[in-house]
Structure 1
Amino acid sequence: MTLPPKPSSRAEKVTFWRYLRLFRRDILSSQPERLYRAWMAEFRTPFFRSYMINDPDLIKTVLKERPRDFPKSNRVGSGLRPLLGNSVFLTNGDHWERQRRIIDPAFEGGRLRQSFPSICDASETTVARLLNRMDQDVEIESETSHAAADVIFRTLFSMPIEAHVAQDVFQAFKTYQRSQPILNLSAFVPLPQWMPRGYRRRTRQSAAHIRALIQGLTQTRQAEIDAGTAPNDLATKIMTTRDPETGMVFDLGEMVDQVAIFFLAGHETSASALAWALYLLALHPEWQRRVADEARSVDLRDFGQMSKLKVTRDVFRETLRLYPPVPMMVRETQKPEVFRNRSVKKGAQVVLSPWHLHRQTRLWDAPDAFDPTRWDTENGKTCARDAYLPFSAGPRVCPGAGFAMMEGVMMLAFILRDLRVELTGHAPPVPVAHLTVRSQDGIWLRIVRR
């Protein structure tokens, strides 16, 4: 059986400062191998305790049963705030609940049907662009980033993305995530509020560039809303939805924050998942044939026929298991807790790692193998319920989870209906994680007309 690439784990014991350097370079390879079989692991620093939990019962407690007792960690927020500001991804408590009351209606069931044509248009544009790269070795992450950005522009702002803008956004995100890991210095060392967070110059510049683009789009849309000429898309829906409790809408600054996370969640993460899916199908051509046959058997422009794309959906679910775009989530205890008979102090960091949970050797059958049939097995069904978190879970589950699944399935179907992807002479991609799970040196595939 050909196993998909997986980063090598570090030695079991290293010093704190050695671990910090490894973590800053890549959070996946900096972890020891034992985390793939541990129910819980404690990590001690001179300043705080951190607990990674791979126990489904504990995860259920943190995410579903008592989420208010385990808010998002401000240590993580510090690293992401230059780009995401006070977006719904980072806020907690009443502030977060207000934001979700405004955002959630935009992602209700009917909105998926309204967004479907935009996803189809972006998918067909992607196929046309790849046809120009036929019989060439293509760095596919760049192409999937272009495709995912196109979907976001079409669904949020009703406009197709231009090639130079797509590359601009892609390079800015790439620069940001590679210059700023999920955690910065303040995540490990307590710093006073007045002290600089230690952001690199490239981090600040790329974040400012992305936010300037978003602000321009948002200002233009507000003018269209005021004039009564705005299209009925996601941006208009979110900007005009009033909080049912206060009657207030997002102001411009708040909207820039929210669109920034939509770009990260809907562009960067979708691009990552689609690139890995295409690589996995190049690695397993028998599954690629099944996806292609299924895509040719339905009318991909008919929303009602999406339910027939079962093989494609199972392939995409399996991709999200092996390469979850967001590899780790961090919460913080608000009071003393007891985890697996161990006392946990207030202020401890609670790490939920989809990367490790999805490969937990005591939960999944053949956890490192690519096997889309697992979702029909008893083990797969149990793990799908208890140990599968590509979009988080509980009240803080990603509001765009349904949208992301539809986008990934449709993009795969459109691309593989007309094209075939093959492995090249390049070295296999090595997964690394900063903001999302990407490849260390890109994912290279050859594009062939089917």
Structure 2
Amino acid sequence: MDTKPQPFVPPHPVPRTHIPTRLEVVRTVMRNPLELWGEPSYTKTHITARFLNETTLICNHPELIRHVLVDNQKNYRMARVRQLILRPILRDGLLTAEGETWRRGRKAMAPVFTPRHINGFADMMRSRADTFLECYRDGAGTVRDISHDMTELTYEILAYTLFSDEVVTDGVDFAEDVDRLLSTMGRVDPLDLLKAPEWFPRIQRLRGKATLAKFRKVVRDTMDARREKMRTDANAVRNDFLALLLNAEGPDGLDADEIEDNLITFIGAGHETTARALGWTLYLLANAPHERALLEAEIAKVLADDPPPVEWLEKMPKTRAAFEEAMRLYPPAPSINRMAVEDEIFTFKDGTSVEIKAGTTVLVMPWVLHRHRLYWDNPNAFQPSRFWPENRGAIDRFQYLPFGAGPRICIGATFALQEAVIALALMLNEFRFEPTPGLAPWPVQKLTVQAQNGLPMRIVRR
């Protein structure tokens, strides 16, 4: 007799069943863009719509997504609304730069994210995660906001691995400040939708300027301190991410502003996506005891042999799968926005086609794509087995995009996967994370997909 329980279906917006008015669109985007998408978004291969005299194409078919992000990516630049949101924060960082500026930045950072370098981070990730767990060992049985904790943990790992613990923070609370920054400057403003001039002030972004200024000061102070150390005690300087960028400064590399922008991108946002995915993973496992037991057994078996942490990602496929399934249900980056530069007609393999005019906003929506009924069985349920090694071959490369695709795929994807598996293994080996009464977190898009009121959970020793 099959006693496997029904999979856990976590909270999610119900698709709209009517076409929203302009006012409803603006209100929904302001409140939570995830609530905007209607029934066709989860059932159609592509949708063309008009809003405020602008054409938008929503791409759900893997063939079309591949065409936009890979095969003809030169015809698709960053969408204007996306840049209006992100450029005030990141300027010419890797997420927002285009053209030659982006190419210089990507080339400068690539050496840090080679397999050799990332493998070298594994012991450091383990050490820092184990140190972080002291706060749980000292307070087992208490309720903590796991979303806040995961932001702190991933920042600690980032600061240790990429910056040799030399970020000049001056008492900055990164978890709170990142949340404040994304809640103010990291959201769509109605004036963006109305195409108001960029110089026209966005009220909610004005509220985030002080926090952004604080982050900018942290980065400048960190750069200055490292430059001084490189000048006076070069032998003591580790060849980390910070040193790599500073050594790339010059007429043939990056200028000082571009280095600052990329450091802001990694310090302020680079750890945020992994933090959110870790928080959602722990929440999902807390509500799926059967899945959690599979991970606990896998982790215990691997750690009993005490292999080096660089091998954990390969040796813990079920742990990796749970993290990947969490990123499917709650993709850290829920939208990929492009704009067509020139007219073209794309033809599918079945002979049908779609016309894409220059100026069309092209949306690839991992939030929608990852729950699309054409591509996923029981799409709203937490089923990590989708990503077990024997099953993952059935998933098309372009139906699952937690890290994007094409030339602009996330440069830190392997770093994030390794970090997540190491952190999960250490946490789940010692502790269980239990839901608090009434915990039903509502997913909200604030650049990343966050739990509206955090993830308060009880931590107990196993």
TM range (shorter): over 0.9
* Structure-2 residue corresponding to 1:123: 129
Amino acid at match of 1:330: N
Output the CA distance in 1 between the equivalents of 2:113 and 2:414. Answer: 8
Q: Is the 8 A contact 2:330 2:449 kept in 1?
A: yes
Partner of 2:73: 67
SS of corresponding position for 1:250:
coil
Instruction: Label 1:252 to 1:307 Cα distance change in 2 as closer, same or farther (>3 A).
Output: same
Within 1, Cα distance between the matches of 2:108 and 2:166?
Answer: 26
Q: Is the 8 A contact 1:429 1:442 kept in 2?
A: yes
Find out whether 1:281 has 2:285 as its counterpart. Answer: yes
Equivalent residue in structure 2 for 1:180, among 181, 185, 190: 185
- Output the CA distance in 1 between the equivalents of 2:367 and 2:26: 19
Q: Matched residues in 1 for 2:128 and 2:293: separation?
A: 23
For the residues of structure 2 that align with 1:31 and 1:372, how far apart are their CA atoms? 25
Count of equivalent residues: 446
Q: Deviations over 1:174-197 (max 9, x none)?
A: 112112344334532233454445
Please state if 1:210 is matched with 2:222: no
Q: 2:376 aligns with which of 351, 364, 367?
A: 364
Cα drift, residue 82 of structure 1: 2.2
State whether residues 47 and 190 of structure 1, in contact with CA within 8 Å, keep that contact through their aligned partners in structure 2. Answer: no
**Is the 1:112–1:403 Cα contact (8 Å) retained in structure 2?**
yes
Counting only pairs closer than 5 Å after superposition, residues 182-201 of structure 1 correspond to structure 2 as 182-201=187-206
In 2, Cα distance between the equivalents of 1:78 and 1:348? 17
8 Å CA contact 1:365–1:379 kept in 2: the answer is no
One-letter amino acid matched to 1:217: T
**Percent identical:** 30
Pick which of 191-200 and 169-178 moved more. 191-200
Amino acid at match of 2:314: S
CA 1:109/1:236 → structure 2, altered by over 3 Å: closer, same or farther? same
Deviations 1:195-221 (Å, cap 9, x if unpaired)? 445553222222222222122112212
Give the C-alpha shift of residue 19 in structure 1. 0.5
1:401–1:163 distance in 2 versus 1, CA, 3 Å: same
Q: Give the counterpart of 2:239 among 232, 239, 258.
A: 232
Once the two structures are TM-superposed, the CA of residue 64 in structure 1 deviates from its matched residue by 1.0
Any conservation in 1 of the 2:57–2:361 contact (CA below 8 Å)?
Answer: yes
The equivalent residue for 1:292 is 296
Deviations 1:10-43 (A, max 9, x none): 4522211220111111110122133111211223
CA deviations over 1:60-89 (Å, ceiling 9, x no partner):
001111111111123211111222111111
| TM-score, normalised relative to structure 1 | 0.93
Tell me, yes or no, if the aligned pair for 2:62 and 2:396 is still in contact at 8 Å: no
Match of 2:271, SS state, is helix
Residue identity matched to 2:345: V
Paired residues for 1:411-426 under 5 Å: 411-426=423-438
Counterpart residue type for residue 392 of structure 1: G
| Unaligned segments of structure 1, at least 5 residues | none
- Cα deviation, residue 367, structure 1: 1.2
Q: Does 1:348 find its partner at 2:355?
A: no
CA RMSD, aligned part only?
A: 2.3
Q: What aligned pairs does 1:212-361 form with structure 2 within 5 A after superposition?
A: 212-227=217-232, 228=234, 229-241=236-248, 248-297=252-301, 298=303, 299=306, 301-339=308-346, 341-361=353-373
Whether the 8 Å CA contact 1:134–1:447 is kept in 2: the answer is yes
Q: Cα deviation per residue 1:372-407 (whole Å; 9 max; x = unaligned)?
A: 111248874232423110000111101100001001
Q: Does structure 2 retain, via aligned residues, the 8 Å contact 1:329–1:353? A: yes
Distance 2:212 2:241 in 1: 23
Aligned to 2:355, the other structure's residue is in SS state: strand
Larger displacement relative to structure 2 (327-336 or 95-104): 95-104
Q: TM-score, normalised by structure 2?
A: 0.90
**Other structure's SS at 1:52 match:** strand
For 1:396, the equivalent position in structure 2 comes to 408
